[in-house]
Amino acid sequence: MLRQRYARFRAWQRHPYIFQIKDPSLHRCANCGHQFRGNYCPCCSQKAGVGRVTWAALKQNIMMVWGMESRSLPYSLVQLLGRPGYFIRDYISGRRQVCFPPVKMLVIVGILVTLLEHLIVPQTAEVNMEATADTLKAAHIDFLTSTLVWLSNHREWSTLIYGCFMIFPTWLMFRKAPAYPYHTMPEGFFVQVLICTIIVIVEPFDEWRVVYPFMAIYYVITYHQLFGYGWWTTIWRLVVTALLMLVSFVLLMLLIGVAIGIVLVITGQVTPPDASLMVPK
């Protein structure tokens, strides 16, 4: 019984879509007047059956703001949870209609998660941020440390920043993958956006210590399904990818910190240390 259910789940992961014409009769487009059969007008792309504004149309337009229309935000999130790598491969290979717009999806999810966090703990986060800011000012912590603190206090958006640093290492380590070879850097951007969308949802559960294990498992499953390597090959390539991401992020932060220090010295806001004081007696 369990084996049959798992087999059906695996079949759904690979082929979940059922495309069919809802009404095969002849339609006249209310926008351009073209006659057609199908769900959408081939001339202007307007949906079939559009007529006068009704209460149903009003409800649909309101729901569309939050991504609740056909191929909706919840639909895409379910796909990202149940078949992440296959779903991402569908999108970057050209099946755009099966996915809610990724960047819009990340923004909406980030806004909703931020609102929920403020509703649940509206004061704790603000107090922590103020205390952190005071500590930074008093201790004069360097640019890299203060940046890391800011990223930890803004996890909803820092997730995407970290994901952007995964684009080039992913391209470098998985560019010859058997299932999807020679993916491009723009495709890598959308890969990270879709992955980050799910991670942002899990971020509020960080107090339960589930975020980092979930991220590791989710990345392995996603990359395994997306690129088609075996499990162990996917894991070691992903470990190297994460190390390259970490090194590139730290180097960039150090370079930015050095550049800011040079600018402050040139503008006179910071006085460089006296070289004579550094000579041992």
Confirm whether 273 is domain-assigned.
no
Confirm whether 183 is domain-assigned.
yes
Rounded Cα gap, residues 164 and 157, in angstroms: 11
Q: What is the model's pLDDT at position 259? A: 74
Q: What is the model's pLDDT at position 163? A: 85
Q: What is the model's pLDDT at position 139? A: 41
Confirm whether 95 is domain-assigned.
yes
Q: Containing domain of residue 137, as a range?
A: 53-267
Q: What is the model's pLDDT at position 127? A: 41
Q: What is the model's pLDDT at position 184? A: 92
Average pLDDT along the chain, 281 residues, taken 10 residues at a time: 80 74 76 82 80 70 61 85 92 86 87 77 46 44 59 66 89 93 92 91 73 88 95 96 91 76 65 50 51
Q: What is the model's pLDDT at position 133? A: 45
Rounded Cα gap, residues 166 and 161, in angstroms: 9
Confirm whether 12 is domain-assigned.
no
Q: What is the model's pLDDT at position 154? A: 61
Strands 26-28 vs 35-37: parallel, antiparallel or unpaired: antiparallel
Question: What are the backbone angles phi and psi of residue 175, rounded to the nearest 5°?
Answer: -70, -15
Confirm whether 30 is domain-assigned.
no
Q: What is the model's pLDDT at position 191? A: 94
Number of domains in the chain: 1
Q: What is the model's pLDDT at position 155? A: 62
Q: How far is CA 199 from CA 114, 142, 156, 157, 171, in A?
A: 13, 28, 9, 11, 21
Confirm whether 194 is domain-assigned.
yes
Confirm whether 209 is domain-assigned.
yes
Q: What is the value of pTM for the model shown?
A: 0.73
> What is the SS3 string spanning the chain?
CHHHHHHHHHHHHHCCCCCCCCCCCEEECCCCCCEEECCECCCCCCECCCCCCCHHHHHHHHHHHCCCCCCCHHHHHHHHHHCHHHHHHHHHCCCHHHCCCHHHHHHHHHHHHHHHHHHHCCCHHHHHHHHHHHHHHHHCCCHHHHHHHHHHHCHHHHHHHHHHCCHHHHHHHHCCCCCCCCCCHHHHHHHHHHHHHHHHHHHHHHHHCCHHHHHHHHHHHHHHHHHCCCHHHHHHHHHHHHHHHHHHHHHHHHHHHHHHHHHHHHCCCCCCCCHHHHCCC
Confirm whether 21 is domain-assigned.
no
